[in-house]
Amino acid sequence: MSQRADLVELLSGKSSILLDFDGPVCSIFSNHPAPDVATSLRGVIAATGLPIPADIETERDPLEVLKWSATLDRPALVRQVEAHLCAEEITAARTATPTPFGRETIIGAFEAGKSIAIVSNNSAGAIRAYLSRQRLTRYKLPVSGRTYARPDLMKPNPEPILAAAKLANAIPADCVLIGDSLADIDGAHAAGVAVIGYANRPEKLDRFTDAHPDVVITSMVEVANALVELRI
């Protein structure tokens, strides 16, 4: 069967689409680089006088810095880092670049009669800021974002995915998640949710293969096109 037929079949069997945010919807840090945000989070930690290990010193992903801060048994510090990251994400959302066909996927999901929810390791506030800026507020998309100061609950933990399914009024078996990271694929498996791996960079193709998503796509146009076919 062709890739397109696979996608149409997968999507036609599901009532709800759970959409990862950074990747399928937009590139949140496209104009407010993630490494800069990671550096500014390290500044928050360094201000407390805590030593920062070498691997965290060079970490480019702010979410990894947040995760590490949660290993120190310093709850107040985690909340401080979290608050800082939330603020940075909202700033980033203001200049985030929309993913081609991300919007068409959202509109197409409605046109195909599917419910839709966003499930992300980013903060819900930043996601709502983006949706508002893009005039998508009217669709009242439910958002399952990062639990405040609990980075252990981020994907691949299935919790936010299960929460998103609930927000979309669906049981996990009726949902399909679209995400661009291994955490999405592993989390979806753990939640019992079908998953479409969006390999938005070529090197992800190999990595995804071993994680066994139901379908792999390289552009959101593939999902958007499949949803056009399923339009009611």
Partner 1 sequence: MSDALDYLGELDPDDPKQASQQIADRVRAAILTGKLAPGDKLPSQPDLAAHYGVARETVKRALDPLRAERLIVTRQGSGAFVRAKTQRAVELRPHIEAAFEKPHVSIDFAGFSGETLASAISEALDKIRIGELTPETISIRVLISDMTVPMALPARAETSADDPIIRARAERITRRAADGILDQVRELGELGLVRSVSAEVRVHSAAPLFKLYFLNNEEAFFGFYPVVERNVVIKGEPVAIYDLMGKDVPLFHYSTKDDEASTGAQFVEAARAWFESVWNSIAREYAE
Nearer to partner 1, 83 or 228 (CB): 228
Least separation in angstroms between residue 7's CB and partner 1 is 13
Binding range to partner 1, per CB under 8 A, among 79-87, 98-106, 114-122, 152-160 = 98-106
Which of helix, strand or coil describes residue 213?
Answer: coil
Q: Does 228 bind partner 1 (CB under 8 A)?
A: yes
Q: Within 10 A of 103 (CB to CB), how many other CB atoms are there?
A: 17
Helices and strands in the chain: count of H runs, count of E runs: 11, 8
Binding flag, residue 133, partner 1 (CB under 8 A)? no
**Shortest distance in whole angstroms from residue 231 CB to partner 1:** 8
- 3-class state of residue 16 by DSSP: strand
In the complex, the smallest distance separating the C-beta of residue 174 from partner 1, rounded to whole angstroms, is 18
Q: Does 10 bind partner 1 (CB under 8 A)?
A: no
Which H helix or E strand runs over 160?
Answer: helix 159-167
Structure tokens at 17: 């689409």
* ω into 156 cis (within 30 of 0): yes
The verdict on 104 binding partner 1 (CB under 8 A) reads: yes
Q: Does 140 bind partner 1 (CB under 8 A)?
A: no
Structure tokens at 161: 């995915």
- Comparing CB distances to partner 1, the nearer of 110 and 148 is 110
The number of residues that bind partner 1 (CB under 8 A) is 20
Residue 79 vs 94, nearer CB to partner 1: 94
Inter-residue contact 52 to 46 (CB < 8 Å): yes
CA contacts within 13 A on the Cβ side of 212: 3
Write out the H or E segment, with its range, that includes residue 224. helix 220-229
Answer yes or no whether residue 12 interacts with partner 1 by CB under 8 A.
Answer: yes
Q: Which of 191, 137, 125 is nearest to 163 (CA)?
A: 191
Nearer CB in complex with partner 1: 31/209: 31
Region from 81-89, 96-104, 162-170, 200-208 binding partner 1, contact rule CB under 8 A: 96-104
Question: Applying CB under 8 A, which residues contact partner 1?
Answer: 12, 98, 101, 103-104, 106-108, 111, 134-135, 221, 224-225, 227-232
